[in-house]
Amino acid sequence: MAKEIVKKIKLQIPAGKATPAPPVGTILGPFGINLGEFCTKFNDASKDRMGDILPVEITIYDDRSYDFVLKTPPAAFLLKKIAKIKKGSDKGANHVVATITKDELRQVAETKLPDLNTDNIEAAMKIIEGTARNMGIAVKGLNDAELASQEEAAQKAEIEKEKRAEELEAIEAEAKEIKDTKEVETVDDNNNEEETEE
């Protein structure tokens, strides 16, 4: 009789460094899995990829047994590693934080190929290029000129936006000043009327 699947869990764990501490223990513990055994198996299976963050898909069965499949590191992780940056752009393609070569793009695409929904390396490169673009990583000779002009346009738009915001602030301050002056004049007029009545 086939074992019944209770749950499928996806985790990202540094290769060769799984421990029963959180997040592993917190997520797998409630299912009654032997955490020490899982960590040992994961670390043995991933020790050749030390330094990488590995997604792992764990299938848990009704008898508390499990299987797991190691996936390739996330594209964003591989791109940051190859571009030698800590994080991607917080403005997406509007701010280029690094440039990689077409060969480096191909290298990332080849690594990711088993987990992408294509077996064509050119299609895989287009997928990875999209991720790189969103992270602000340009590809030399492919989209670096386009991203540079996009960044320049975005910077001009940002300066224009700041300028408009400053102008609006000045107008609002001026309007407030006029309003305050009118209120003072109204108060003065009221005082004069009271003095006249006497």
DSSP 112-124: HGGGSS---HHHH
Q: Which CATH class is domain 5-70?
A: alpha beta
Q: What is d(CA 100, CA 112) in angstroms, rounded to the nearest whole number?
A: 17
Q: What is d(CA 85, CA 137) in angstroms, rounded to the nearest whole number?
A: 10
In sequence order, the 6+-apart residues with CB closer than 8 A to the CB of 14 are: 51, 52, 53, 54
pTM, 2 dp: 0.64
Q: What is the pLDDT of residue 140?
A: 83
Q: Give percent of the chain with pLDDT exceeding 90.
A: 35
Report the CATH superfamily, name and number, of domain 75-148.
Answer: Ribosomal protein L11/L12, C-terminal domain (1.10.10.250)
Between 188 and 50, the higher pLDDT residue? 50
Is the pLDDT at 106 greater than 80? The verdict is yes
Residues of the chain with CATH 3.30.1550.10: 5-70
Per-residue pLDDT, averaged over 85-110, amounts to 86
Q: What is the pLDDT of residue 127?
A: 92
Q: What is d(CA 39, CA 42) in angstroms, rounded to the nearest whole number?
A: 5
Residues of the chain with CATH 1.10.10.250: 75-148
pLDDT per residue as tens digits for the range 141-161 = 766 667 666 667 767 777 888
